[in-house]
Each structure stands twice: as structure tokens, then as C-alpha cells.
Amino acid sequence: MSTPDPRPRAQYGAAAYAGMKGKLPTPFPRTMGPNAMKYLQEVVESGLSSNMMGRFERTFAEEMGVQHCVATPGCTPALALLAAAFGFAPGDEIIVSPITDYGTIQGLIRENYIPVFPDTAPGTVNMSADTIAPCITDRTRAILAVHLTGLVCDMDPIRALAEQHGLIVYEDVCQAVFGSYKGRLAGTLGLAAGYSFDSEKTLGSDVGGCIITDDDALAERLRFVGHSRGAVMEPVFGRKHAVPGYALRMPLCTAAITLAQLEIIREQVLQRDRMARLLTAHLQEIPGIVPLPIPDYVDVYSCWMFGLSLEPGAFRCDADAFAAQMVEAGIPGAGTGRYYLMPAACTFLEENARAGRYPYSRPTASREYHYSADTCPTAKEFLEHFIRWSTFCEKYQPEHCELAAEMIRDIADRNRV
């Protein structure tokens, strides 16, 4: 057993928001769907025999307009399950957005796939077909697109590129639930998509998530590997584990709460879209402040966290000091998001690649890999000037957008060169 790391452990969910107070609303306590208690009660009164998970799956699939939903205890497991179900070979490469949460890539690593991070497109947090294209090799098998903050990636060119190379495209929709791209819902733009219903997410229930897909064979495989532990029933003998499966069913109580939250989510997402656009309009008026651009192809911005950039050279202070002043002024949770840059944050990747540890040994890997902030220079530079707050939520009203803009204007004026 190695000696414990003296640094504090990272916090997730509601714990990450503890003590965040200011002059603007925060997501906690979450607004609960009016039927949450009723559905929870059904679970309890059924003596745990209710099919609440199945009910949630059917309802979510219907809402998304797809054939299948497979519920999981989070998006990290959802994407891990997808990685397992795809059944690629160790050392195969998956192209994945460089600015994201660790949960996006955890499953790839566990399957011994190699994550390859393209750079982001200039001026935004997402990768694009142009940044992905140079990363494609003969070992590439799939592209995993993350819609960061809720801004959907420009998916049509990404899909066209993938088609040219025979690659699977799938989505991490954790931050963009019910967001929409050219009239189509995020999550329906590839072969499959993973969702998070973590309490802090837009569709906040508890530690929960799911996968959606229209592909019958993939859905069956996901249930077999993810819910049935890869086991088949053999006469007389019983369960035989044909593949190393998982036990990743969504808990019934989480299904009950998520079902209730689903009944109020559409209006909440529209409110986030309205308020994010209003706040964007206010901030565009402030010299030196550049809110995250909302592309025209995003019809509904299911904004999970709000973000802005400081124009380089416009202020005497750096983004960290600016963000600290935002917190002091009353914007809870404002901060820079450098830790989202996975090639820099996942230090074990560079260590393993450098040491040639499996799957970075040849074979299985076909070439050398490197992971650091410098492998994604555009993303690195962007994050140097980027500030976001994940306390942005559906509780925002126009007066909160005005207040936030006023606070930011004051800070900008105080720090302008």
C-alpha cells in the first residue's frame, strides 16, 4: 500500500458546492419534481419490487425520441459500459475531447484503449472536425464528443469525417441534457450517448446516469454486459459469465427521483438557455470580456456552467485573480477550469506512456504518445484566460443576469490596464 497523498481529496456532487454562497442563486438545494416523493414511496411500498428503473428507461427513451435507454449509476459507468460493449482491442485509439471531466475517459483507460486528445477549435471549449482530422490513424476506432458547458459540438462535420474513416461517433451529454443542435437533440447525433444525473448536473437527481441508442444490437449488448454481468443462464448450472461484465444497474430510488426530475426538466433547460443568452448579451457590452460564443447551430443552449474569457492583455490581473474577485463580489464558485484539460490533469497517462506500460507497450500501441497541456496548445491558451461558474442554474432570473454583469463590469473597470 503506498503512503497516502497529503493533498486534500477532490469533492464531487453536492459536497463540491458546500459553503458556496454569494449574491446569486446556487443549484442546492435542488428544485425537486413534484412527484419525487410519490415515486420514492412507490419504491418503498413495493418492497423494492417496483420496476422503477425500467419505467425511467422507457420515459427517457421516449423523451429523447430513441429506441433504447439503459440506466446506470452515473455517466462514468455509462461510458465505461459503452467502452466495454464496443469490444475494441487494447491499444486501439479513441479520439476524445481534451477539455472534459475524468469520467469521460475512465472507461477507455479501463478497457486499455488509448485516449487521443485533439486540440480545441480556437475561441471555444470543444474540438471540431478540423482539430480531429490530424489525429486519425489506422488504430482509431471511435470519436467521443463532449458538449462542454452545454455547447453542442459541430456534429455534422464530425460525423462526415467519421464516416469517411469508418469510425463510430458517440457523445458525452453530461453537460448538455436536452440541448439541441440544428433541431436535433444532443445525444441523438451519434451511435449512442452517455448522460449524468449527478445531483449537481442540470437533470440533477443523485449519482445516476444512462446510455441512449437506436441500435438494437448495441442496446442488447449493453444490458448483457452492464446489467447482467455478462452472464447467460445455462440449464441446470445457472449463471455462466461469458464475458467480464459489470453490475451497473441504476438504483430504484435514483430512478424514482430522476423520473420526477424529468417532468420538470424541459422548462428548466429553456430557462437556462434564456438566461445564458441574456447574460451573454450583457457581458458582450463589457470591454475585455468575451462570453463563450454560442454558435448559431445551437438552438437550445442547455447551459450547465457559464463561461467567459478575459481578452489577453486587457486587464492588469490574471484570470485566477479576476475569478477570486468575482467570488468576493458574490458570484459563487467562479474559478478557472484548467483542471478540465485531461492531458494535463491525468498525470498517470504521461507516466504510463513514457514508461511504455501496457497498453503503451509495443505491441499493443503502434506509436509513441505524449500527454501534457502542451499537446493541446489552443486549449491550454484558452483555459489560461477562461473563467466559469458551475453554480449557474435554472434559478437565474433576468435580475440575476443583470447583477452578475454589474459585478463583472465593476471588476473589469477596476482591473483594466
Beta strand residue intervals within 15-157, DSSP E? 68-72, 93-96, 114-116, 140-146
What grid cell was written down for 365? 500501441
Beta strand residue intervals within 38-177, DSSP E? 68-72, 93-96, 114-116, 140-146, 168-172
The answer to whether 146 contacts ligand PLP (rule: CB under 6 A) is: yes
- Please state the closest distance from residue 47 (CB atom) to ligand PLP, in A: 28
Q: Count of residues binding ligand PLP (CB under 6 A)? A: 14
Q: Nearest-CA neighbor of 339 among 388, 290, 302?
A: 388
Instruction: Provide the pairing of β-strand 140-146 with 93-96.
Output: parallel
Site string for ligand PLP, 8-37 (x = CB under 6 A): ------------------------------
Binding piece for ligand PLP, criterion CB under 6 A, among 108-116, 171-179, 306-314, 345-353:
171-179
Binding piece for ligand PLP, criterion CB under 6 A, among 96-104, 232-240, 247-255, 408-416:
96-104
Q: Which is nearer to ligand PLP, 74 or 291 (CB)?
A: 74
Query: Residue 354: how many CB atoms within 10 A of its CB?
Result: 13
The answer to whether 128 contacts ligand PLP (rule: CB under 6 A) is: no
Identify any residues that bridge with 169 across adjacent strands, giving them in sequence order.
143
> Which listed residue (119, 198, 206, 273) binds ligand PLP by CB under 6 A?
198
Q: How far apart are CA 42 and CA 49, in angstroms?
A: 9
> Which listed residue (74, 187, 190, 337) binds ligand PLP by CB under 6 A?
74
- Please state the closest distance from residue 101 (CB atom) to ligand PLP, in A: 3
Q: Is 353 helix (H, G, I), strand (E, B) or coil?
A: helix
Letter for the amino acid at 56? Answer: F
What grid cell was written down for 229? 454481468
Map grid coordinates 469525417 to a residue: 161
Dihedral of CA atoms 158, 160, 166, 167 in degrees, nearest 10, equals 20
The answer to whether 75 contacts ligand PLP (rule: CB under 6 A) is: yes
Binding piece for ligand PLP, criterion CB under 6 A, among 152-160, 169-177, 226-234, 353-361:
169-177
> Which listed residue (108, 121, 132, 174) binds ligand PLP by CB under 6 A?
174
Binding piece for ligand PLP, criterion CB under 6 A, among 2-10, 37-45, 167-175, 273-281:
167-175
Calculate helix-pair angle for 52-64, 252-284, nearest 10 degrees. 30
Binding piece for ligand PLP, criterion CB under 6 A, among 56-64, 95-103, 242-250, 290-298:
95-103
- Please state the closest distance from residue 416 (CB atom) to ligand PLP, in A: 33
- Please state the closest distance from residue 83 (CB atom) to ligand PLP, in A: 13
- Please state the closest distance from residue 195 (CB atom) to ligand PLP, in A: 8
Pair 263, 34: CB distance under 8 Å: yes
Site string for ligand PLP, 97-116 (x = CB under 6 A): ---xx-xx------------
The answer to whether 206 contacts ligand PLP (rule: CB under 6 A) is: no
The answer to whether 172 contacts ligand PLP (rule: CB under 6 A) is: yes
Q: Which helix (H) or strand (E) holds 85?
A: helix 75-86
- Please state the closest distance from residue 42 (CB atom) to ligand PLP, in A: 24
The end-to-end CA distance of the chain, in Å, is: 52
Q: Which is nearer to ligand PLP, 209 or 333 (CB)?
A: 209
Longest Cα separation, the chain: 79
Select the residue whose beta carbon is closest to ligand PLP and give its number: 103
- Please state the closest distance from residue 318 (CB atom) to ligand PLP, in A: 25
The answer to whether 196 contacts ligand PLP (rule: CB under 6 A) is: yes
Q: Which is nearer to ligand PLP, 146 or 310 (CB)?
A: 146
Map grid coordinates 441512449 to a residue: 212
Identify any residues that bridge with 212 across adjacent strands, giving them in sequence order.
69, 193
Query: Residue 263: how many CB atoms within 10 A of its CB?
Result: 15
Q: Which is nearer to ligand PLP, 71 or 404 (CB)?
A: 71
Distance between alpha carbon 352 and the CA centroid of its chain, in Å?
25
> Which listed residue (36, 60, 70, 76) binds ligand PLP by CB under 6 A?
76
Binding piece for ligand PLP, criterion CB under 6 A, among 71-79, 159-167, 252-260, 396-404:
71-79
CB proximity list for 55: less than 8 A, separation 6 or greater: 255, 259
- Please state the closest distance from residue 12 (CB atom) to ligand PLP, in A: 6
Q: Which is nearer to ligand PLP, 91 or 204 (CB)?
A: 204
CB proximity list for 208: less than 8 A, separation 6 or greater: 71, 72, 73, 74, 196, 197, 198, 250, 251, 254, 255, 257, 258
Bond prior to 73 in cis (omega within 30° of 0): no
Interface with ligand PLP (CB under 6 A): 74-76, 100-101, 103-104, 146, 172, 174-175, 196, 198, 209
